[in-house]
Amino acid sequence: MALPVAFFALFFAWPVAAIVARGLKVDGAWQLGRTADVVTRPDIRHVLWFTTWQALASTGLTLLLALPAGYVFARLDFPGKQVLRAVVTVPFVLPTVVAGSAFLALVGHGGLLDDLWGVRLDTTVWAILLAHVFFNYAVVVRTVGGLWSQLDPRQEEAARMLGASPLGAWRRVTLPALAPAVAAAALMVFLFTFTSFGIVQILGGPTFSTLEVEIYRQTSEVFDLSAAAVLTLVQFVAVGLILAVHAWTVRRRETALRLVDPKTAARRPRGAGQWALLAGVLVTIALLLVLPLAVLVRRSLDAPGLGYYRALTNPDGGTFLVAPAHAVWTSLQYAVAATAVAVVIGGLAAAALARRDAGRLVRGFDALLMLPLGVSAVTVGFGFLIALDKPPLDLRQSWILVPLAQALVGAPFVVRTMLPVLRAVDVRLREAAAVLGASPWRVWREVDLPLVRRALLVAAGFAFAVSLGEFGATVFIARPDNPTLPVAVARLLSRPGDLNYGQAMALSTILMVVCAAALLFLERLRTDRTGEF
Nearest Cα residue to 105 out of 516, 529, 528, 507: 507
Range from 394-403, 416-425, 522-531 carrying the lowest mean pLDDT: 522-531
Q: Residue 337 above 90 pLDDT?
A: yes
With bands split at pLDDT 50, 70 and 90, how would you rate the model's confidence at 360?
A: low
Q: What number of helices (H) and strands (E) belong to the chain?
A: 29, 2
SS3 label, residue 424: helix
Per-residue pLDDT tens over the stretch 220-233: 777 777 788 888 88
pLDDT digits (tens, 9 = 90+) for 490-517: 888 888 888 888 888 888 888 888 877 7
Q: What is the pLDDT of residue 522?
A: 67
What 3 state SS string does 433-464 have?
Answer: HHHCCCCHHHHHHHHHHHHHHHHHHHHHHHHH
- Compute and round to an integer the Cα radius of gyration of the chain: 24
CB 194 within 8 A of CB 57: no
Tell me the DSSP string of 392-409.
TS--TT-TTHHHHHHHHH
267: helix, coil or strand?
Answer: strand
Q: Apex CA 60: angle with CA 519 and CA 210, to 5°? A: 80
Question: Is the pLDDT assigned to residue 315 strictly greater than 80?
Answer: no
For residues 499 and 490, give the distance between their C-alpha atoms in angstroms, rounded to a whole number.
Answer: 14
DSSP string, 325-379: THHHHHHHHHHHHHHHHHHHHHHHHHHHHH-TT--HHHHHHHHHTTHHHHS-HHH
- Number of Cβ within 10 Å of residue 266's Cβ equals 17
pLDDT at position 27: 60
- For position 176, what pLDDT does the model report? 80
Q: What pLDDT, in 10s, does the model give residues 60-81?
A: 999 999 999 988 888 888 888 8
- DSSP SS3 for 478: coil
Residues ≥6 apart with Cβ < 8 Å to 313 = 323, 325
φ and ψ at 254, to 5 degrees?
-85, 5
Query: What's residue 30's pLDDT?
Result: 62
Q: Which of 371, 319, 327 is nearest to 468 (CA)?
A: 327
pTM listed for this prediction: 0.78
pLDDT in tens, 97-118: 888 888 888 887 777 777 777 7
What mean pLDDT do residues 374-383 have? 78
Check whether the bond before 480 is cis (ω within 30° of 0): no
Taking the C-alpha atoms of residue 254 and residue 333, their distance in angstroms, rounded to an integer, is 38
151, β-bridge pairs:
259
Q: What residues does 76 pair with on adjacent strands?
A: 267
255: pLDDT confidence band, cut at 50, 70 and 90? very low
pLDDT digits (tens, 9 = 90+) for 127-184: 899 999 998 998 888 778 777 777 767 777 787 788 777 777 777 777 787 777 788 7
